[in-house]
Amino acid sequence: MKMVSYTTAGTIYFNGLILIVFSFGSFSEAKMKVLLVSSLISMVLSLIAVVYTSINLLSNVSGLKTSSEKLAYISDLLRGQEGNPVNPLKQNEKDTQFCIKALDDENPEVRAIAAEALGQARGPEVEEALLELLEDKNSRVRITAARNLGRIGTENAAEPLIKRLAVDKAPVFRVCAIESLGNLKDKRAIEPLIKNLDDKVPEVRLVAARSLGILGGDKAEEALIAKLNKSSPELQKQIILSLGNSGSKKTAGLDSKKAAGALIHKLRDKDPELRKYAAESLGKLEDPESVDPLLECLGDTNPEVRNAAAYSLGTLRAEKATDTLLGMLTEEDSELRITAVYALGNIGSRRAVDALLKTLDDSNPWVRRYAADALAKIGDQKATTPLVKNLNDPDPEVRWATAEALRLLDKQNSR
C-alpha cells in the first residue's frame, strides 16, 4: 500500500508544480502542451496505482489476518465455485494452501468454511487435512470434514471415519460419516454400519441401511433382511430399496435368493408403499422365481403397485406376463398404459404387435412415443407403414422416436 501512497503523493506534487507554472505569464501554446503532458503523466501514475492495488489484493492472501477477513475471502471462493465447471481451487494452489492453513484458525466458522471449500479440491494433502478435522472439538467442523471426505476421499479415509463413527455423539456427524462410508465403497465399513442399524436416531438407521445397500455383499444383505420386519415403515422402505441394490447383479455379482424371498413376502404387506417398493426391487434382482408373485401384483388394488410390477416384469422379460400386460393397454390411467407399452417392448413378443399399433393413436404422447420404441424392439416389419403417419405427430418427441424406430426397422430389414 506504500506504493499507492507514494504514487498519489507524487501525482499531487507534480500537479502542484504545473499550477505554479501557470500562475505566471500569459497562456500560450507551450503552456497548453505542458498541461496536456502533465495530465497524461497523472493518468499513467493513477493507473499504475490502481493496477498495483488490484494485484496486491488478489495475490496477497497471506495478508488476511483476522477471522472475519478469512471468512469473507473463503466465502468469495465458494461463490466462485457455484455453477463453475472449472473449480477455482483446482486451478489455484495458493487458494488451496490458504484454506488448508485456515483449518488451524481458532474460529470454528473459519475451519468449517475452509473444510467446505476444500471439499471441491483434490490431492493427498487436502485429504490428510480433512482427516485431521475428524477430531476437531467443534461438531460442525467434524460434520463438514466427514461429508467432504465422502466426496473426495480415497480408501485412506475409511478407517478414520469408522473410528470416529464409533465414538461421536453428534447424530448429524454419524449420518454424514455413514453416507461417506457408503460413497467410498470400502467393505471394511460393513460391520460398523450393521451396528448403526440399531442406532437410537431414526435418520442414522435410515442412512446405514442405504449405505449397506450400496456396499452390498452377503453380510450386508443378511443384516438388512433380519431388520426388515422389525423396523418402522420408513426404515422398511429403505431396507427394501437397499435389498434391491445389494442383491442386484450389477452391484454385488450375486444371485440373491434370500433377498428375493424377503421381497416376495413384502408383496403381500398391508402397506401399499411397501408393496410398490418390493415390486421395484424385485426387478433389479433378476430372479425368475419372482415372476409369478409379480404377475399377481398386476391385479393389486393400488395403481402404483401395478405400475411397479409391470415395469419389473418388463425388466425380467417375462413372456408369460404378455397377456395381462396387453389388457393394461386400455387402462384409464396413462401411467399404467405407458409402463405396459414399455414392458411389452422389453419382452419382445410378436403377439403384442397389433395391440401396440393401436397405441400409436393414444391420446397421451408418451404412450405414442414408447409404442414406437416398443415396435422397433420387437422388429416386426408390418409396423413400418403405421409408424410413417406418426412422423407428422404434433409432439416433437413422438416424431423423433418414430423416425428412430423406422431407422431401426429399416436396418433390421436390410440384414
Q: Which three cell numbers stand for residue 371?
A: 409404442
For residues 315 and 284, give the distance between their C-alpha atoms in angstroms, rounded to a whole number: 8
Q: Which three cell numbers stand for residue 108?
A: 470454528
Mean pLDDT check: name the lowest of 212-226, 246-260, 289-303, 367-381. Answer: 246-260
Higher-confidence position of 117 and 56: 117
pLDDT per position as a tens digit, 247-292:
664 444 445 788 999 999 999 999 999 999 999 999 999 899 999 9
Q: How much is the pLDDT for 50?
A: 46
The yes-or-no verdict on residue 61 having pLDDT over 80 is no
For residues 364 and 361, give the distance between their C-alpha atoms in angstroms, rounded to a whole number: 8
The yes-or-no verdict on residue 337 having pLDDT over 70 is yes
Cell 494452489 sits on residue:
93
Q: How much is the pLDDT for 286?
A: 87
pLDDT per position as a tens digit, 295-305:
999 999 999 99
pLDDT per position as a tens digit, 135-174:
999 999 999 999 999 998 888 999 999 999 999 999 999 9
For residues 328 and 365, give the distance between their C-alpha atoms in angstroms, rounded to a whole number: 17
Cut 0.75: pTM above it: yes
Q: Determine the average pLDDT of the residues in 319-338.
A: 97
Which CA distances in Å does 109 have to 104, 135, 180, 181? Answer: 11, 16, 22, 25
Amino acid at 112: A
Please spell the DSSP secondary structure of 24-54, one letter per residue.
SS---HHHHHHHHHHHHHHHHHHHHHHHHHH
For residues 410 and 376, give the distance between their C-alpha atoms in angstroms, rounded to a whole number: 10
| Mean pLDDT score across all residues of the chain | 86
Q: Which three cell numbers stand for residue 35?
A: 498541461
Do 278 and 316 touch, CB atoms closer than 8 A?
A: no
The yes-or-no verdict on residue 54 having pLDDT over 50 is no
The yes-or-no verdict on residue 62 having pLDDT over 70 is no
